[in-house]
Amino acid sequence: MRLKPAEIAERVAQDIPDGAYVNLGIGMPTMVANYVSDDRQVIYQSENGILGVGPAPAPGEEDPDLINAGKQFVTLLPGGAYFDNAESFAMMRGGHLDLAVLGAFQVSEKGDLANWATNNDTYPPAVGGAMDLAVGAKQVFVIMSHTTKSGEPKILESCNYPLTGAAVVKRIYTDLAVLDVTDQGLRVRQLHGDNTFDEVQALTGATLLPALS
Amino acid sequence: MINKVWDSFASAVADVKDGDSVMIGGFGSSGFPLQLIEALRQHGARDLTVISNNAGVGDEGIASLLKDRLVRKIVCSFPRSAGSVWFERLYEEGAIELELVPQGTLAERIRAAGAGIGGFYTPTGYGTRLAEGKETKVINGRGYVLETALPADVALIKAQRADAWGNLIYNTAGRNFNPPMATAAALTVAEVERVDAVGDLDPECIVTPGIFVDRVVAHGMKGVAE
């Protein structure tokens, strides 16, 4: 069985600890905030210069300058702060951010991340803050579908798309399973539903290690 | 008497020359000096190098400079967004040069230029295509890329409030690239919503001290064709 994107986001949310400073990437990662339980206080950073990002404003109450990195209108929670981009990325590279949750095109068994460019050179490339987040956050979680739309594996021995960062991913959450990047290789942490190790291995382009019991 | 307040957007950008490098503050739809950009477009200086996080969307702001083919090169982190039609068209034609810089490296290169730092080693981009051809160094077991300072001839920035000494206060996330850019150009021009009397801005809240700002133009002043 395959989890829906919102269900993968819900699974990621379970692993975000109380008190963490977290940056959520654009798209599916942003959905994670919807599922963090109320008994945990998580402070979200947006790399354009916000700590303490709150939910979307009520219609008509938008501040035109108050957007997140995905260019959506947001609010600021009490206790939140604004800062410029140099400070925002100093915060990131300086290792002050506990966790980044990012989408990916591909992840390698060594934790290499490819999420900013494909091999299609007709499109102009865009990188944004992806490379800074990849090397800066203390931990990087990837949330993505296990395979491409055409069924090709996105988890590989080595990425064939240009890298965002080398050996930066700690854990991969997909619609099929949760995998940990370890010194020994990719280890299954959890299989969703009735998925078997062999089924997930067949859809993965790298050798998996079974879950530790 | 120090008075950095100019009475029109047009006069405040009239010194921009063909071939100048121009920093433009803003991120997404937030914190852009839209009236200064429009005045620059009407001024018509060509062969500009624009340094900004994005390459503009629709027909407004930075996109209007591209549409009028005033920009030879753009230095940015995220040129491609929904609606970045003019950038995409010019890129496809080979009519614009792109220097793609990770967002944090862009901000730090600008900060370095304003702080008198010639360059710095950053882990961002190490081992990737964006580090190709650049000097690298392993420091305490970690790989770093040498990046150089990025100054400009002109910075066009947006703030909320100013005074005649050029002190600036921003609005929420509209701050973004504006404060570092204010420090990094030979001529810094700030577009603001209002000008307060000197002494009325709380010194504990001033983000950009006036030493970095050369000219201030407030909304409601003349100089932009409606």
pLDDT at A124: 83
pLDDT of residue B226: 38
* DSSP strand pairing (B152-158 vs B119-122): unpaired
Is B191 inside any structural domain?
A: yes
For residue B20, the model assigns a pLDDT of 98
Which residue in A132, A133, A168 has the most chain B C-beta atoms within 10 A of its own C-beta, making it the best mutation to test that interface?
A132
Strand partners, B51: B23, B75
Walk along chain A (213 residues) in steps of 10 and give the mean pLDDT of each run: 96 97 94 94 97 96 95 96 98 97 97 93 87 97 97 97 97 98 97 97 98 86
pLDDT digits (tens, 9 = 90+) for B54-74: 999 999 999 999 999 999 999
Sole residue written with tokens 């304003």 = B114
Please indicate, yes or no, if residue B123 is contained in any of the structural domains. Answer: no
| pLDDT tens sequence across B156-203 | 999 999 999 999 999 999 999 999 999 999 999 999 999 999 999 999
Contact check, Cβ <8 Å, A66/B173: yes
Q: At B41, is the secondary structure helix, strand, or coil? A: helix
Domain membership flag for residue B92: yes
The verdict on residue B27 lying in a domain is yes
CATH number reported for the structural domain that contains residue B208 in this entry: 3.40.1080.10
In a domain, B112, yes or no: no
A132: which chain B residues are within 8 Å (Cβ-Cβ)? 102-105, 124
Q: CB under 8 Å to A100, separation ≥6 — which residues?
A: A22, A23, A24, A25, A133, A134, A136, A137, A139, A140, A141
Asked if B104 lies within 8 A of A66 by C-beta distance, the reply is: no
The enclosing domain of A184 has a CATH number of 3.40.1080.10
Number of domains in chain B: 1
Q: For residue A142, give its domain range.
A: 5-209
- In single-letter form, the type of residue at position A138 comes to K
Residue B211 has pLDDT above 50, yes or no: yes
pLDDT of the residue at B222: 54
Q: Report helix, strand or coil for B69.
A: coil
pLDDT of B204 > 50? The answer is yes
How near does any CA of chain B get to the CA of A54, in Å? 13
Among residues A7, A10, A47, A61, the one annotated as catalytic is A47
B71 assigned to some structural domain: yes
Count A/B contacts: CB-CB distance under 8 Å: 144
Report pLDDT for B225. 43
- Is residue B28 assigned to a domain? yes
What percentage of chain B exceeds 70 in pLDDT?
A: 97
Q: What are phi and psi of B115, to 5 degrees?
A: -105, 5
Q: State which residues form the domain around B186.
A: 18-100+151-218
Establish whether A62 is a catalytic residue.
no
At B80-125, the pLDDT tens digits run 888 899 999 999 999 999 999 999 999 999 999 999 999 999 999 9
Residues of B in contact with A67 (CB under 8 A): 27-30, 173
Collect all residues of chain A within an 8 Å Cβ-Cβ radius of residue B175.
49, 82-84
| Candidates A64, A117, A128; nearest CB to B77 | A128
CB contact under 8 A, B77 and A84: no
Q: Which residues of B touch A23 (CB under 8 A)?
A: none
HEC string for chain A: CCCCHHHHHHHHHHCCCCCCEEEECCCHHHHHHHHCCCCCCCEEEECCCEEEEECCCCCCCCCCCCECCCCCECEEEEEEEECCHHHHHHHHHCCCCCEEEECCCEEECCCCEECCCCCCCCCCCCCCCHHHHHHHCCEEEEECCCECCCCCECEECCCCCCCCECCCCCEEECCCEEEEEECCEEEEEEECCCCCHHHHHHCCECCEECCCC
Q: Of the candidates A66, A82, A127, which has its C-beta nearest B78's C-beta?
A: A127
Count up the domains in chain A and report the number: 1
Which residues on A lie below 8 Å from B29 (Cβ)? 64, 67, 71
Is residue B179 in some structural domain?
yes
